[in-house]
Structure formats: structure tokens, C-alpha cells
Amino acid sequence: MSQSYDPPCSSPASAFHYRKSINISFPCFIHFLDIPSKTLLHVPRFSLQDAKHDNLLPKSSSFSKNSIWVNPKSPRPKHLLHISHQPNLRKLANSLDSCNPTPQHVSQILKPLGDNVSERDAVLILNSMVNPHTALLVLSYFQQKINPTRHVVLYNVTLKLFKKVKDVDCAENLFDEMLQRGVKPDRITFSNIIITACVCSLPHKAVEWFEKMPSFGCQIDKNMCSSMIFAYASLGNADMALELYDRAKAEKWHLGTSAFSALIKMFGMLGNYDGCLSVYDDMKALGAKPNMTLYNALLHAMGRAKMARKAEGIYNEMINNGFSPNWHAYTAVLKAYCSARYNRSALSVYREMKGKGMNVNIFLYDMLLEMCAEVGCVDEAVEIFEDIKSSGASTPSSWTFSSLIAMYCRSGKVLEAERMLNEMIQSGFQPNIFVLTSLVRCYGKAKRIDDAVKIFKQLLDLGITPNDHFCCCLVNVMTQTPKEELGKLIDCIEKANTRLGSVVSYLVEEQEGDLDFRKETSELLNSTDAEVKKPLCNCLIDLCVNLNMPQRARDLLDLGVKLEIYANIQSRSETQWSLHLKELSVGTAITALHVWINDLSKALESGEKLPPLLGINTGQGKHKYSDIGLARVFKSHLKELNAPFHEDPDQPGWFLVTKEAAMLFWCSTESIAKFDSLEFGLPTVTL
């Protein structure tokens, strides 16, 4: 998203939209015809205070018969100035804008002013012009009529015109002319050039000019601070941007919305999303009014941060403030909703965009499809896929097909996944490793082991190297495969990862040698990608549980704890000892339960006192390692063991037992024997 800059005190209605580059040699010494003088009193549009005009009224002027002299010390000037001849001067400015840009035409139009041109008249005419070609000739004309000590004012007004037409090159050339003619630039000079650089989206030039100021004896002020915050923030120079921002707040200087927008965008790019919200709060506290650029920057930051609730609040606030969401706002909030898997809100925004006839590009389509695949919105995903094909503006991408295949695989829809794979290939896309991994998992759930093996061969034929995710998926399929078919998968794993193949063969063949097993497994896990370590360890433990190898399962869990793959499984406080299982697979969680119960038995035997409560936290809802949820698996398993744990109605996913009930349970030899048994009694579940 491009960052726009709104110059302070800009007047869009009077701006001249000049697009061609201006290549003008600056006429420093153009001699105009001598014309009798006529001076008109008026109120200039240019800020005379900014231009350092202490007394802009000429000491003597000749007026036309319609002019009125006003004593500047009288309390009545403000009222009487309304009857001045300011409109006549504006007509002159309009004539200059439309004339041929030659010295002769300019002098002819300015002839009624005479030789004794007042500084105020010159300032108003230049300030009212929108044609930069002619303005330079007018500037040269006035330079011959006005005291050279006041030429800096004329240059500043002309620089203001280059700010309007967004031409920083001509502004820089005019600055060079100032120096050549011995005119010392002031703070307003630099302010105009800096703002011009900002409106031209050239923050690096703004910084260059800002850093030149001290050598000319100029310092930053409240009118320039906002522009420089914008420039430094746009360049990612957080130190300088925040230094100026803190100074502006301390000095209570007014800051434009563009400065706040740039700071929000800067914090967003740095990943400091709390900083984005802090700047937004400051802006509201300081009374600055947000615009669409600011809302877009803030919504995009919330989207990257996956802070969907914040994005939703800002989005609603934007609408309540009278702003109609544009394409950038819709895109930003859609990204936030999709990343947080707010499927209803995301689909609502999508349909609103379609209803307004807005373009939905393939990036947005794929983002929506990925969300639908993750949360299982199959019907909605199919609707979006059909929209892509019928839109005429977008065509399905490789990622489009990948998301749909993954969705069907998660839903166990094998035929639909295969149909989408065929359509993907017919569209000219080859399946990537993400697609092939999804298909292997899908065939594993469907007990179609031969098809899973075919996918592995297809992967090799495509020249794709199996990664750790793919290998972990093969082990996961082994946890759902009858023992007599495990050999087919072991052959695949040994070709994909020899170290993993060795560990898996060790388990399936029930080889002896604890030290060798722990060493090989430790080397395997240390060499595995960080994000795959836990899933792979979970799958290996699940395989041990299915093969009825509880001791190997305990060894792997212990190794996972020592390698810090698992952390904080057990916790203790004065009031409660707890077992935390919601990040574990079913087999790993049951193994951890048996280890914990045994640890509690040893604690009792050693004379430790139990706390008032013991608790098991399985989490609630659908579990990533189980289709039916870990809580339901544990409820069944604890019942089979006659364990006195009961679901807590106030804390879903928690199973609690009092110290007294636990003591009675441990006093039962039969109950403890079940935990010490080689048989885990694992319920039949989808791992």
C-alpha cells in the first residue's frame, strides 16, 4: 500500500494538476517595459507572517480613483479591507496563467500595476497563479520592481507553487538561483521544498534538505515537524521519527494526519503493532482527524498482526465516522479476518465487495480459500472457486488448487481431492510437496496404504525432495496402519530419510538396545526442523502406543522433555497439581497421564502431601491430533481406568479430583495395577 502525504494548509481546489516535466531556464535578468505605476491595496492569500513580512504596506502608493486608503493602525482595517481590489489582482493572475509564457506577454498583462509595484500585490499575484511556466517570468518581472532585500519572499511564494504542482526538480533549481543571486533562504524556503519532496513521495530528498538547514542558520519549527516525521518514518528511520514525534508532543505542536499514518505504517513494518495502536490513541487524544490513508495503514498493520478483534473495532469505527471502505480497507480487514480464521466476518466482507462490484484478485481469493480449507467451510470454498472461474478477471492459481485439495483431504473427501488434483494438472500445474503431503495424509485416514505409497513414488518422479513435514506425515500414516502393512511405509521412509527409517525400523522390529535407540532418536530430533520436532515426536510415541510398547513411548516422552520439545507438561502450586495435555497427540497425552500418575504414586510413597486439587487440562473443542477431541478421548479413557477424575462444568477441558478421592484411588491395588500394566487401554480413535 503506498503511503500518501497530505501537505499542511494545502488547497486542492486551487491546485494545478501539472503532469509534464518542466524544463525551464530561470530568467534571472529579464528586462521588461517601463510602465507607469498603479498600486492597489488588498488582502493577500499568502501567509505574510510565514514569509517574515513585518510591514508589507508600502510607505507611499498611488491609487486609482476606486482605491481606498486604510490606516493600518486604525481598528477599522479588517472591516475596510473587504472593499479592496483583491479580485482585480486575481484576475491578473488568471490572465497570466492562460497567456503565452513570454516576457512580452507577462509585461503587457502586468502593465496596469506600473513601476511602483507593492510587495503585497506581487505576493498575492504569485500566490494566486497555477501555471509554473509563467510564474517564473512573473517572478523575474517583480524582482526588478521590488527591493532586493525582500526577494526571499517572492521566491518562497513561487516555491509554494511548485509544491502545488508537485515538481521538486524545479523547486531545487529555483533554490540554486536564489544562491546565485545572493538571496539567503529562510526557514519558509526549506519548509516549501521539504513539503514538495514529501508530496512527491521522495522522503529521502526531504531528509537531505532538512539536514542542510543548520548550515543556513535555520531550525525546525512546528510547521515543518509533521513533514519530517512523515519523511523519517517513511524511510524506516524510527529513531529520528520518534525523536521528532516526542518533541512535537512536548511542544504541543500540531501534527498532520500524514505524520500519524507514516508512524503507524513504520511500526507495522517493524512488527510493533502495539506501537501502531499507541500512535492511533495519541492522534485521537490530540484531536487530529483520521482519513482513509490512516485507516488503511492501521487495518493493514492489524491484518499482519492477526489482531482480528482490533481490526474489526477500527473498521466499525471508520464506518461510524462516515468513511466508506475502499478496496484497500476491504483488503486489509479481509486479511485480518482470514488470518484469525473469522470465517463468517471474512465471507461477509467478501460478499460486500462483490455486491459493490469491486475487483477481487487471485491473492484475495486464495486467502479466502486457505481460510475455508483450515476451518472446514467446504460449501463456501466451492462457491469461491466457482466465482474465480466465472469472474473473467482471475484464473485459479496453483495455490487455489492446493488449498482446495488440502480442504478435501482434511474432510476425508478422497474422491473430491482426486478430482481436484486432476483438474489442477489439466490446468497446467504440477502438484507441489504441500499437495502431495495432504494426499498422503488423506489416503492414510482412508486406510488406502497402497495409494499413499504411489504418492511417494510420484513425488520422487517429479524430482521433489521429501522434507521433514512429508516424512512426519508418513510416520503419522503408520500410526493408522495395520502392522502387516507397515513394511510398505518403512521402505518409503528409509528412502526419504535414512535416520528416521532406522528409528522406525527399530520400533517396528522391537530391536533391543536402549542406549542405541535413545542416541539415534536424539540425533534424529536434533536434525529435524524446529516446527516439525513436536509433531514427529508425537507420531513416534503414537506408533509405540499402537504397537503396545509403553516403555518405548515413555522413553520418547522423556527424551522430548530433555530436548525441550515438550515444556511445562506438569505444574505445581500450593492449591493444585496439574497435567497440561492440549498440545499433545492422543498417544502422547495418554503416555504423559500414565507417567504423571506414577510420579504421584512415588510422591505419596516418599511422604509428600498432595494439594487440595489435582487437575488434567486437555483443552476443549476439536483437537488437531484427533477428530473427536482430546477431552472426549480422556473422558472415555479415565472411565475405563475407574479414575475418580470428573469434568469441571466451569472450566471446559479440565478434569479434577480432590485430594481425598485421589488418596482412596491410590489405596486401591487394582487401580494402580491398571496404570502399571503394559496395556495402556488406548481407546479406538483417529490419531
Tens-place pLDDT, residues 209-232? 999 999 999 999 888 999 999 999
Res. 465: pLDDT tops 90: yes
The one-letter code for the residue type at 464 is: I
Q: How far apart are the C-alpha atoms of 629 and 606, rounded to whole Å?
A: 36
Chain mean pLDDT for the chain: 84
pLDDT at residue number 391: 85
pLDDT band for position 625 (50/70/90)?
very low
In the three-class reduction of DSSP (H, G, I as helix; E, B as strand; rest coil), residue 65 is classed as coil
Residues 6+ apart with CB under 8 A from 239: none
**Per-residue pLDDT at 663:** 86
For residue 490, what are the contacts with CB-CB under 8 A and spacing of at least 6?
A: 478, 501, 504, 505, 508
680 pLDDT higher than 80: no
Mean per-residue pLDDT, 357-386: 92
d(CA 421, CA 436): 10
Per residue in 188-204, pLDDT tens? 999 999 999 999 999 99
Dist CA 502 CA 515 (whole Å): 14
- Measured torsion, CA atoms of residues 578, 583, 584, 590, in degrees rounded to the nearest 10: 30
**Can you state the percent helix, strand and coil of the chain, rounding each to 5?**
60, 5, 35
Helices within 467-513 (DSSP H only): 468-478, 486-496, 498-508
pTM over 0.85: no
In this structure, what C-alpha cell is assigned to residue 48? 505574510
391-443 residue pLDDT tens? 888 899 999 999 999 999 988 899 999 999 999 999 999 999 999 999 999 99
The cell for 594 is 500414565
Residue 380: enclosing H or E segment and its boundaries?
A: helix 378-391
Q: Whose CA is closest to 28, among 142, 132, 107, 106? A: 142
Instruction: Please check the confidence at residue 447 and state whether its pLDDT lies above 50.
Output: yes
Q: Report whether 501 contacts 494 (CB < 8 A).
A: yes
> 668 pLDDT band (50/70/90 cuts)?
low
CB burial of residue 432 (10 Å; 0-12, 13-18, 19+): middle
pLDDT at 80: 37
Closest CA to 537 of 576, 514, 503: 503
- Identify the H or E element spanning 617: strand 613-617
The pLDDT-based confidence of 676 (bands split at 50, 70, 90) is: low
Q: In the structure grid, which three cell numbers stand for residue 148, read together? A: 532586493
pLDDT (average), residues 492-502: 95
The count of other CB atoms within 10 Å of the CB of residue 359 is: 11
Q: Is 257 helix (H, G, I), strand (E, B) or coil?
A: helix
Instruction: State the pLDDT at residue 433.
Output: 95
Q: Over 70: is that where the pLDDT of 555 sits?
A: yes
Cell, residue 224:
515543518
Give the pLDDT band of residue 672 (cuts 50, 70, 90).
low
CA distance between the termini of the chain: 43
pLDDT given for residue 43 in this prediction: 32
pLDDT score, position 153? 94
What is the predicted pLDDT for the residue at 4? 56
Q: Does residue 628 surpass a pLDDT of 70?
A: no
Average pLDDT over residues 235-247: 95
Residue 654 pLDDT more than 70?
Answer: yes
Render pLDDT for 146-175 as a digit per residue (tens, 0 to 9): 888 899 999 999 999 999 999 999 999 999
3-state secondary structure 313-339: HHHHHHHHCCCCCCHHHHHHHHHHHHH
Residues of the chain with CATH 3.30.1370.110: 570-676
Instruction: Give the model's pLDDT for residue 46.
Output: 36
Share of the chain above pLDDT 90, in %: 65
CA separation for the pair 533, 545 (Å, rounded)? 18
Q: What angle do CA 313, 315, 318 make, to 5 degrees?
A: 110
Say whether 636 sits in a helix, a strand or coil.
helix
Distances (CA, A) of 674 to 121, 633, 636, 657, 678: 102, 17, 15, 18, 9
Collapsed DSSP state (helix, strand, coil) of residue 634: helix
- What tens digit of pLDDT does each residue of 97-124 get? 899 889 999 999 998 888 888 899 999 9
Q: Where do the H-state alpha helices sit in 509-658?
A: 514-526, 530-546, 550-562, 586-605, 630-640
Correct CATH for 570-676 of 3.90.550.10, 3.40.50.720, 3.30.930.10, 3.30.1370.110: 3.30.1370.110
The answer to whether residue 627 scores a pLDDT higher than 80 is no
List, in order, residues 6 or more apart from 580 with CB less than 8 Å away: 568, 569, 570, 571, 617
Cα atoms found within 13 Å of the Cα of residue 594, Cβ hemisphere only: 25
**Closest by Cα among 513, 538, 544 to 678:** 544
Categorize the per-residue pLDDT at 630 as very low, low, confident or very high, splitting at 50, 70 and 90. Answer: confident
Grid-cell match 517572478, residue found: 139
The predicted pLDDT at position 30 comes to: 38
